[in-house]
Amino acid sequence: MIRQLEENTQNRLAQKDQTIWQLKARVTLLKSDKEWEKTEAESKISELEKRLSEQAANTRHRISLKDEEILALKARVLEFEKKGFDEIKTPVRSQTLQGKNVLIDPTSIMQDIQKIREENEKRTARQQEVIRKMRQQVRIRKLLDCISFCFIFLSHLTNCHTAWLP
């Protein structure tokens, strides 16, 4: 009878050891999955940041081209005011690629530049908000994964503890 109890105890102990080993394997798999998801999210965030910085640089470049064009137009306007309308024979034309051979109204250019700057600021703010939300989602996922793992682990510990009770 005692021998039978010892064998039963040994069998239960072996089952518990196997369960612990399986739980450890699951933990390892969960950790590797979470690391992969974290790496993937970080790469997406870095790609988005890179794309946003490229867009911002492109926008700054376009704005600087427009600023140069405005300076040239202001110089022409001053020249016009000094010499008079009849003496200036060549019309003011855009120097940028998008507006070649198009007559330019300086007030509309200023308005366009202001509009471009405002749109760029809005777009940048939206993009930064998207990045902030993505980072927050990654943090929340990590916390939820940790909490779910703790619940699973506690559940298994509770099952192990109750199995040892007579």
pTM, two decimals, is 0.35
Question: Cα–Cα–Cα angle for 67, 72, 74, nearest 5°?
Answer: 90
pLDDT in tens, 27-83: 999 988 888 898 998 999 989 899 988 998 899 899 989 989 888 888 888 887 777
Sorted by where each begins, the domain ranges of the chain are 41-164
Query: Which structure tokens are listed for 157?
Result: 């510990």
Is 95 within 8 Å of 69 (Cβ atoms)?
yes
Residue 97 has pLDDT above 70, yes or no: no
Residue 88 has pLDDT above 70, yes or no: no
Buried b (16+ CB within 10 A) or exposed e, 68-85: ebeeebeebeeeeeeeee
pLDDT in tens, 125-136: 988 888 888 889
- Cα 117–chain centre separation: 22
The predicted pLDDT at position 157 comes to 73
Q: What length does the chain have?
A: 166
Residue 98 has pLDDT above 60, yes or no: no
φ, ψ at 102 (rounded to 5°) = -115, 130
The residue that leads in pLDDT, 86 or 31, is: 31
The predicted pLDDT at position 75 comes to 85
